[in-house]
Amino acid sequence: MTEGPTPDWRDALPWPGEDAHKHARGRLGVVAGKASQTGAARLAARAGLRIGAGVVRILCPPDATAIIASAIEAVMLTPFGSAEALAEAVEGMDAVVIGPAAGVTDATLTHVRALAGTGAALVVDADGLTVFEGWPTDLFDVLDRDDVLTPHEGEFKRLFPGLLDLGREAAARAAAKRAGAVVVLKGPATIIAAPDGRLAVNDNGVRWLATAGTGDVLAGMIGGLMAQRMDSYDAARAAVWMHAEAARGFGPGLIAEDLPDRLPQVLAALYSQDR
């Protein structure tokens, strides 16, 4: 299915009710990597907050605390020193993003596993995927059906070697089944596939998104919608579409930092169509 002009996920967008409060609107966690690489987590967190998660918290290694703390205001911060502490810190969270600049390290592997044991829905991106190269079933075994993987083609090949030979759509569909989770295969025409066989091809992709950090923003957007309890497959479709729409409105010269602050405009257009 190619998204038409009024994709059905619009009806599923989680607009806050008149009596909304921040916790009811959803709690999102974003796991940061090492101290020199925290921008990715900050981009994801800001995107998650902009798209409507009521509370967004970055979870960081202790030595990254001061660096992140001076760069955030509405986003919150909790340092953690171990996988157990991480799992504890996400208690009560609705969704967690892990992967952006996480590092391809044993720690990242341990963190993904620890998060899978919590009640939070996961968005696993970037290094959080690459770290399972060679033993992807270790990842698939701990995923739930409402978790989301967001590989670009390179990362996809590491987790699903050979599968792309089927063509992108079939590959994404097979991957979602194999992983038992939603798979977002990023590219010029991003494919979103659910483990129950649902599949969508996003058709509003724009070339300006080919710049560092846009994947972090997308992961945060998906997580932000999931934190608001939108169905993961719908959340992924909606986020992919809005992400591209935000970029299209900007045009050449776009950098990832522009995207979160373009979301209000994209959301406003969708909101007014809904009324």
Positions in the binding site for its own copies (CB under 8 A): 15-22, 24-25, 35-40, 42-43, 46, 49-52, 54-56, 65-79, 101, 152-153, 187-188, 205, 207-208, 210-214, 250-257, 263-268, 270-271
The minimum distance between CB 168 and its own copies, in angstroms, equals 12
The minimum distance between CB 258 and its own copies, in angstroms, equals 8
- Closest to its own copies by CB, 47 or 175: 47
- Closest to its own copies by CB, 100 or 195: 100
The minimum distance between CB 106 and its own copies, in angstroms, equals 21
- Closest to its own copies by CB, 16 or 180: 16
DSSP the chain: -B--SS-GGGGG--PPPTT--TTTT-EEEEE---GGG-HHHHHHHHHHHHTT-SEEEEEE-GGGHHHHHTT-SSSEEEE-SSHHHHHHHTTT-SEEEE-TT--SSHHHHHHHHHHHTSSSEEEE-THHHHTTTT-HHHHHTT--TT-EE---HHHHHHHSTTGGGG-HHHHHHHHHHHHTSEEEE-SSS-EEE-TTS-EEE-----GGG-STTHHHHHHHHHHHHHHTT--HHHHHHHHHHHHHHHHHHH-TT--TTHHHHHHHHHHHHHHHHH-
- Closest to its own copies by CB, 1 or 212: 212
- Closest to its own copies by CB, 7 or 213: 213
- Closest to its own copies by CB, 1 or 66: 66
The minimum distance between CB 116 and its own copies, in angstroms, equals 26
Taken in order 68, 73, 76, 78, the sign of the CA dihedral is positive
The minimum distance between CB 31 and its own copies, in angstroms, equals 15
